[in-house]
Chain A
C-alpha cells in the first residue's frame, strides 16, 4: 500500500522552486516555517505583483521573465511562466539548483534539525500547486535514493538508523489512507456481525436432533468409505456445478434485463426473493431454534411474528426505514442466506466456493464478464443500477430503486459506506487551496482525476463481488450540486461477499471452534488485503478470491494440524 505507483509525489523538497516574485527566498521559507498550518502566505502565488523586479530574459524561452527560482533567488535563473520553469527544471536546472544540492548534503549528514527545517513547510506546499514542484518532487524522488523520512519530525528516534526506502506521502495520500482505513473499519463491522450470526445459526442447528440430513459426522463416515468416495466427490462436484450454473445464468439474465431497461421486473423479482428469504429461511431457522431451546410456541403466533418480520424487512429494505433497521435486515438476510447454503454437503460447499472464486474473477475482471458489462452499460447510459443499499449514514439513498438477488447468490447489494470524513476533507481542501486546477492535476496524476471520478461515482456499482473505489471531485461547487446523485460512498462490498464469507466460516464452524476462529481471521485479512490492493489499483476488484483462498487454506491446515496440536497442548494446559 505504501508503494502507490500513481501518486508517489515526493514532498521532501517542494519548496525548492517557487514562482513567487514579491518575496525573497528567506521570507517565504520563514513564513511557512513559523506558520506551517497557515496557507495564507501561499495564496499570493496566483496574484503576482511585479513592480520591483528588473526584467530579465527567461532562461528557457528568452521572453521577458519575472519569476525566479525560490531556492536560488536573485542569483538563479528567471522564467516567464511556470511552464517554462518546469521545462527548464526537468531539462537543466534540477541538477544545479542550490536547494537540491543543499538538501542532498543535509540528507547525507542526516542532521535531524536541518531536515526538520527543510521538511516543515512541505505539508502544505502541494496546495500551491506549482507544476514544477510536482516534477521536482518526482525527480528528487528518483534522484535521491534516501528520501528523508517523514517520521523524522514525529519521531526523531527513527531517523538515526536506516534510511527508509519507502516512498513518501503527501497530504492527499494520507487522507486517502485514512479514508480507506475508515472504510475497512466500517465494512469489517457488518461482515464480522454477519459471520458471527451465521456461526451462531450453525452452532444452534448442530444441536438440533433431526434438522440436518447431512450432519458433518455422517459426512465424515461417508467419505471414509473407499468405494463411494470418488462417486461422492463427483456428485458434490455436480451439485456445485449446478449451483454455479444457476448463478451464472441468473446473473446473465439480470444483466440483459438491465441492459434492455426492464428495471421494474428486476425490482419485483428481488422483492419476491427477499420476501422468500426472510419468510422461508426465517421460518426454518426459528423452527430450529425453538426445537433446540425447547420453547413451546403455537403456529398462529409464529406465523404472525414471521409475517411481521418479513413485511417490516421488505418495507425497510425497499422503501424506507430507520437506517439501523435496514442495516440489521441486510446483515440478517446475508446470514440467513449463508445458513441455507450450509445445508449442502461439505465437499459441495468447498467446490462451490472454489468455483465461485473463479467465476468471480472472470465476471469482474474479464473484458466480457457480465458484471463488468453491467457496470459499463450503466456508466454509458447514465442509469443507476437498482441495488439494495447498505448505507451507513444517508437515508436518501433509499429513494433510488433497490434490488438484490442474494437468493441466486450473485447478490447485487452494495454496501454503502459513508464518506463523511472524506467529504469534510474535501471541503477543507476547497477552502484552503486556491489553485484547485493543480490539485485536480495531482488527482489526475494519481489515477483518479476529479472529472473522470465524477462520472464514476454516479454509478452505484452493483456487483456480486467487487469493491469499488470512490473518491470525490475536489471541487467544492460540484460537491454541493450533486449531493443527491453523487453518493459519497466509499467502498462497496457486494452482499454476495457477505454471504460467501459467512458460508466459508459456517462450514468451518461445523468442524471446530479453532477452525472457525482461524477462518474468521483469514477472511478478514483477505478483505483487508483486497481493500489495500483496491487503494493501489483503483478499479473494481473481486473481493472473494483472496479471502476465500486464505480461508480455505487455513481451514484445511488448521483442521488437520492445528486442532490436534491445540488439543494435545490444551490437555496438558500448556500455553505457547
Chain B
C-alpha cells in the first residue's frame, strides 16, 4: 500500500494535532519547552508501565490489566507534571508572552496535553505507520474492510486530542480538588473507557472498530465541551 497509505495514515493520525501545534504552540518558546517536558513525563510513565508489563510477562489475554495500570500510571505522571508546573508557575506566568492574561495556565495545560498526546501517538503508532510503507497490508479483525493502519490512525488522532482535553480538565481538577474533584474522576474514567473501547478493534465483534471510534468521539466531544466550560469560567 506504499507511500499513499503512509501519507494518508500519517496525516490522519497527526494532521489535526500538528495543525494545533503549528498554529498555537510553535511560535511560543515557552510552550514548546513545556510540550517537550510533558512528552518526557509521558515517556517515563509508559516506560514504567512497560517495565511492569515486561517483568510480569503478560500476554494478550491480560490486556485489560495492562491497560489498567498503564492508564493509572499516566494519570499519576500527569499529576506529577502538574505538581512540578505548579511550583514553577509563578515564573512561567511572568515569563509568558502575556503575563496579565488569565488564560496562561490553560495555555500551559493545553501545551502539556498536546505533548502528552503527541508522544502517546508517536510511541503507539509510529511502528504501524512505518510498516504501512511496505507492500503488505494487515486487515483489522473486527472491520475486515479497513486496514489496521487506518484504524490505528483514527484511534491515534482521537487519542492525541483526548489527551489534550484531559490535561486541561485534570489541571482544573488538581487546582481545586475539593470543588472540582469530578474533573479528575472524569479524566481517569474516560481515559480508562477510551482505552478499553479500543479493545473492540481487534475483538470478534462485528464492526467493533466503529464502536471504538464512536465511544472515543463521544468522550472527546464531552471533554471538549467540559474544557470549554472551564475556559468560560475564567474571567
A166 to B89 CA separation, bound complex (whole angstroms): 9
Asked if A514 is an interface residue, CB under 8 A from chain B, the answer is: yes
A176 to B49 CA separation, bound complex (whole angstroms): 38
Residues on B with beta carbons closer than 8 Å to the beta carbon of A567: 127
A558 to B176 CA separation, bound complex (whole angstroms): 35
Pair B36/A573 contact, Cβ less than 8 Å: no
Tell me which of B67, B94, B176 contacts A174 (CB under 8 A). B94
In the complex, the chain A residue whose C-beta lies closest to that of B95 is A177
Asked if B60 is an interface residue, CB under 8 A from chain A, the answer is: yes
Interface-centre pick from B39, B58, B155 (highest chain A CB count, 10 A): B39
Q: Which A residues between 170 and 226 are near B, CB-CB below 8 angstroms?
A: 173-174, 177-178, 181-182, 184-186, 188
Asked if A485 is an interface residue, CB under 8 A from chain B, the answer is: no
Residues on B with beta carbons closer than 8 Å to the beta carbon of A568: 53, 58-60
A188 to B67 CA separation, bound complex (whole angstroms): 34
- Stretch of A133-141, A155-163, A386-394 that contacts chain B: A155-163
Tell me which of A2, A517, A575 contacts B90 (CB under 8 A). A2
Tell me which of A164, A564, A569 contacts B124 (CB under 8 A). A569
Known: A155-B102, A528-B33. A517 touches B95 (CB 8 A): no
Pair B47/A558 contact, Cβ less than 8 Å: yes
Residues on B with beta carbons closer than 8 Å to the beta carbon of A174: 91, 94-95, 99
Pair A184/B39 contact, Cβ less than 8 Å: no
Residues on A with beta carbons closer than 8 Å to the beta carbon of B234: 155, 157
Pair B74/A570 contact, Cβ less than 8 Å: no
A478 to B175 CA separation, bound complex (whole angstroms): 47
Give the shortest distance, in Å, between B79 (CB) and chain A (any CB).
15
| Residue interface bits B58-72, CB-to-A below 8 A is 1, else 0 | 111001001100110
Asked if B88 is an interface residue, CB under 8 A from chain A, the answer is: yes
Asked if B130 is an interface residue, CB under 8 A from chain A, the answer is: yes
Residues on B with beta carbons closer than 8 Å to the beta carbon of A168: 90
Pair B151/A573 contact, Cβ less than 8 Å: yes
Interface-centre pick from B43, B99, B194 (highest chain A CB count, 10 A): B43
In the complex, the chain A residue whose C-beta lies closest to that of B47 is A557
Asked if B222 is an interface residue, CB under 8 A from chain A, the answer is: no
Q: Which B residues between 113 and 127 are near A, CB-CB below 8 angstroms?
A: 119-120, 122-127
A154 to B53 CA separation, bound complex (whole angstroms): 44
| Residue interface bits B153-182, CB-to-A below 8 A is 1, else 0 | 001100100000000000000011000000
A575 to B197 CA separation, bound complex (whole angstroms): 9
Pair A576/B47 contact, Cβ less than 8 Å: no
Give the shortest distance, in Å, between B212 (CB) and chain A (any CB).
8
- Stretch of A20-28, A448-456, A486-494, A519-527 that contacts chain B: A519-527
| Residue interface bits A266-296, CB-to-B below 8 A is 1, else 0 | 0000000000000000000000000000000
A378 to B199 CA separation, bound complex (whole angstroms): 64
Pair B202/A169 contact, Cβ less than 8 Å: no
Q: Which B residues between 82 and 106 are near A, CB-CB below 8 angstroms?
A: 86-91, 93-95, 99-102, 104-105
Tell me which of A157, A158, A560, A574 contacts B67 (CB under 8 A). A574
A571 to B94 CA separation, bound complex (whole angstroms): 46
Residues on A with beta carbons closer than 8 Å to the beta carbon of B66: 569, 576
| Residue interface bits B183-222, CB-to-A below 8 A is 1, else 0 | 0000000000011001101100000010000000000000
Pair B54/A560 contact, Cβ less than 8 Å: yes
Give the shortest distance, in Å, between B117 (CB) and chain A (any CB).
11
Asked if A151 is an interface residue, CB under 8 A from chain B, the answer is: yes
A575 to B158 CA separation, bound complex (whole angstroms): 10
Known: A1-B88, A174-B95, A572-B202. A181 touches B29 (CB 8 A): yes
Asked if B5 is an interface residue, CB under 8 A from chain A, the answer is: no
Pair B199/A565 contact, Cβ less than 8 Å: no
A573 to B155 CA separation, bound complex (whole angstroms): 8
Pair B202/A562 contact, Cβ less than 8 Å: no
Give the shortest distance, in Å, between B32 (CB) and chain A (any CB).
6
Asked if B109 is an interface residue, CB under 8 A from chain A, the answer is: no
In the complex, the chain B residue whose C-beta lies closest to that of A518 is B43
Q: How many residues of B contact A (CB 8 A)?
A: 67
Residues on A with beta carbons closer than 8 Å to the beta carbon of B202: 571-574
A267 to B182 CA separation, bound complex (whole angstroms): 66
In the complex, the chain B residue whose C-beta lies closest to that of A565 is B50
A181 to B101 CA separation, bound complex (whole angstroms): 19
A566 to B129 CA separation, bound complex (whole angstroms): 13
Asked if A554 is an interface residue, CB under 8 A from chain B, the answer is: yes
Asked if A464 is an interface residue, CB under 8 A from chain B, the answer is: no
Asked if B40 is an interface residue, CB under 8 A from chain A, the answer is: yes
Pair A565/B49 contact, Cβ less than 8 Å: yes
Pair A576/B175 contact, Cβ less than 8 Å: no
Asked if A457 is an interface residue, CB under 8 A from chain B, the answer is: no
A184 to B37 CA separation, bound complex (whole angstroms): 13
Give the shortest distance, in Å, between B72 (CB) and chain A (any CB).
10
Asked if A121 is an interface residue, CB under 8 A from chain B, the answer is: no
Asked if A319 is an interface residue, CB under 8 A from chain B, the answer is: no
Pair A151/B124 contact, Cβ less than 8 Å: no
Asked if A513 is an interface residue, CB under 8 A from chain B, the answer is: yes
Tell me which of A161, A513, A574 contacts B199 (CB under 8 A). A574
Asked if A45 is an interface residue, CB under 8 A from chain B, the answer is: no
Tell me which of A161, A177, A517 contacts B175 (CB under 8 A). A161
Pair B195/A575 contact, Cβ less than 8 Å: yes
Give the shortest distance, in Å, between B51 (CB) and chain A (any CB).
5
Asked if A408 is an interface residue, CB under 8 A from chain B, the answer is: no
| Residue interface bits A538-575, CB-to-B below 8 A is 1, else 0 | 00000000000000001001101110111111111111
In the complex, the chain B residue whose C-beta lies closest to that of A167 is B90
Give the shortest distance, in Å, between A265 (CB) and chain B (any CB).
40
Known: A164-B89, A521-B36, A573-B198. A150 touches B50 (CB 8 A): no
Give the shortest distance, in Å, between A145 (CB) and chain B (any CB).
15
Residues on B with beta carbons closer than 8 Å to the beta carbon of A157: 102, 175, 234
Residues on A with beta carbons closer than 8 Å to the beta carbon of B9: none
Known: A174-B94, A513-B127. A573 touches B152 (CB 8 A): yes
Pair B159/A575 contact, Cβ less than 8 Å: yes
Residues on B with beta carbons closer than 8 Å to the beta carbon of A564: 50, 54
Pair A181/B40 contact, Cβ less than 8 Å: no
Q: Which B residues between 5 and 25 are near A, CB-CB below 8 angstroms?
A: none
A residues whose Cβ falls under 8 Å from a Cβ of B = 1-2, 149-151, 153-155, 157-158, 161, 164, 166, 168-169, 173-174, 177-178, 181-182, 184-186, 188, 512-514, 517-518, 521-522, 524-525, 528, 554, 557-558, 560-562, 564-576
B residues whose Cβ falls under 8 Å from a Cβ of A = 29-30, 32-33, 36-37, 39-40, 43, 46-47, 49-51, 53-54, 58-60, 63, 66-67, 70-71, 74, 86-91, 93-95, 99-102, 104-105, 119-120, 122-128, 130, 140, 148, 151-152, 155-156, 159, 175-176, 194-195, 198-199, 201-202, 209, 234
Nearest 3 interchain pairs by C-beta = A185-B29, A565-B50, A177-B95
With A151-B93, A562-B46, A565-B50 given, can you name 4 additional A-B contacts, CB distance below 8 Å? A157-B175, A161-B176, A562-B47, A576-B124
Could you show 25 A-B contacts with beta carbons less than 8 Å apart?
A: A1-B88, A2-B91, A149-B90, A154-B102, A155-B102, A161-B175, A177-B94, A181-B30, A188-B32, A521-B43, A528-B36, A554-B47, A558-B47, A561-B51, A565-B49, A566-B123, A573-B209, A574-B195, A574-B199, A574-B201, A575-B124, A575-B155, A575-B156, A576-B67, A576-B124
